[in-house]
A and B are shown apart, each in its own frame.
Chain A
Amino acid sequence: MSDRAAEDLGRRTHPMTGLVQGLLWGAAAFVALIGSILSRRDGGLESILFGVGGAAVGGLLIGLLAGYVSWYFTRFVIDGTELRITRGFLTKQSRRIPFERIQSVDVAEPFIARIVGLAELRVEMAGGNESRTTLRYLPLNDVRDLRRLLLARAHGEEIADDTGPKDDQRSLITRVPPQRIIVGTLLSLDFLGAVLALICVVVIGVVSQQVLIVLGGVLPFGGAVVQIVAKRILEQWDFTLSRGARGLRIERGLLSRTSQTIPYDRVQGIAIKEPFVWRRLGWQRLEVDVAGYAAQGDDSGSSSTSTLLPISDPALAEAVIAELVPSRTEQITTDRPTRRSRLFAPIGWRFRWIEARTGVVVSQIGWIERTTCLVPHHKSQSVELRQGPLQRWRGVATVEVHTPPGPVDVDGDHLDATAARRFWEEQVARRT
């Protein structure tokens, strides 16, 4: 409110923003309008064609107008301490992003924007549902410069806007070939499950000769199969992981490209996932906990955003992990659930453990999909010891190390009650 003048001084984003955003919103409006037109089933072919054409033109007009207005009223300023974005026509919104609060900075190129050479900037802060700030759209080079600037400022370095290297020196860690992503997706548990369900539905339908069953089952399960393939393969196409001065860089995507930077000191924990079929082949998936990443449920989805390596062999995974969390650790204690916890996990109890090492706490869970989580002691937020009535009856308790929302969950489920208490006390005392 106080800096009314500063608002008007700010830069606008690229003028094409209105058009690109308008096309996106227009498509959405078209879909919304066409539904109501087609459901009206009166009149002949001409009236339907007319309605569809009207929906297309109307949706486009609404989208373009909204896109233009939102572009016109969006401005951003970068000063010595923060990035400030003001937007909104009726309700003014002004957001300040202090540099030291920045968790990560991503560059995304949605498909339509990419065609015209534009990109959006995503800045993540810790906490809350609205921790992500997007600035759309700017020319790709401008966005890259902005990212470089913000990342440098986030680390408390002063660099002039135009000097310095165009991109920091980076060395390639790995590039995951697309065919490996495809094979990995085809062998992943959720894909196999969806396909199996699809086959079952078709077989049941054919045997019982009920067309309705086939249709009712094919649509959701077929949709799931398509969605899994589209999500994994399109989003993780040409997945490239490289190492820079400030953090790891991830570049991925076939139609929409995304370029993420994960600063080394912002990694809150790592999860290693090994689904059943992958384990045979020695493959692993690495996911990373970065504050702010898990809060989104938008187009890119949290699962892709937090993926550090979609598929890799153990040696490479170990090398990447060693860069992000303390490695060469010594084991201090290992705790497994007691036999008394069979009640809670009849098979799974044998496959769980939690281990304290120097520098990190590690836990493993799961026998169909084995998940191993690592959290450095200096990143653990709080430590919980809990016991429900059934657990009290069996003499067991659960220890949990809290981390920011994300794929990483370090739990010691249903340990012996005294062991859990001891682990909790020791973990609370561990600082580094």
Chain B
Amino acid sequence: MTGVVPLVVLAIALAVAAALVPGWAWLPALGAVIALGGAVWAWRWAERNRRSWGYVETDEELLITSGVWFRRLVAVPYGRMQFVDVQAGPLQRLYGIATVTLHTASAETAAAIPGVRSDEATRLRNRLTELGESRGAGV
């Protein structure tokens, strides 16, 4: 998603340039085609990337998986959670989604789940906080 918008903008800018510059028109036109191709690829890749994110709440831990090329599977025991963040930028709010991030005492955990629906994000945060308090071992 983030890669698509600038590429489309670039393609339009290059197409305009091709129309304005008569002599060397083929060069910006070629650039526009490449940028457009990149945008299409990024759009498809964004879909694959989105599908790669997932999480499961099991009895004792939260499992998070992510990545298309660099696949990652992290298990975070509820008792180890220090705090849970829910963040949503302006674009994310427009689409009613949010990013849920789990923090343990380890920075390596880096367990973020992007693109969760807002109501689900709130539910998840409350549920995780509650579970964390009942299991709480911390550090």
Interfacial residues, chain A to chain B (CB-CB below 8 A):
103, 126-127, 266, 268, 291, 378-379, 381-389, 392, 400, 402-405, 424, 428, 431
Contacts and interface: CB of A to CB of B under 8 A. Distances in A.
A387 B71 contact: yes
A384 B74 contact: yes
A400 B108 contact: yes
Contacts of B76: 381-382
Please classify how large the interface on chain B is, using the bins under 10, 10 to 19, 20 to 34, 35 or more: 20 to 34
Contact of B73 (A103, A268, A385, A403): A385
Given A126-B139, A404-B107, 6 more contacts: A381-B106, A382-B77, A382-B106, A386-B73, A388-B71, A392-B71
Interface string B76-116: 11001010000000000000000000011111110100000
Contact of A405 (B60, B74, B106, B138): B106
Nearest to A266: B139
B107 A103 contact: no
Given A402-B106, A402-B108, A403-B106, A383 B139 contact: no
A386 B106 contact: no
Contacts, number: 74
Interface string B56-81: 00001100000101111111110010
B137 interface: yes
Contacts of B74: 382-385
Interface of B: 60-61, 67, 69-77, 80, 82, 103-109, 111, 137-139
Contacts of B61: 428
Contact of A291 (B60, B73, B137, B139): B139
A387 B70 contact: yes
B75 A382 contact: yes
Given A103-B139, A126-B139, A127-B82, A386 B71 contact: yes
Given A126-B105, A268-B139, A382 B111 contact: yes
A384 B105 contact: no
20 contacts: A103-B139, A126-B82, A378-B137, A381-B76, A381-B105, A382-B106, A382-B109, A384-B108, A385-B73, A386-B70, A386-B72, A387-B70, A388-B70, A402-B104, A402-B106, A403-B106, A404-B106, A404-B139, A405-B107, A428-B75
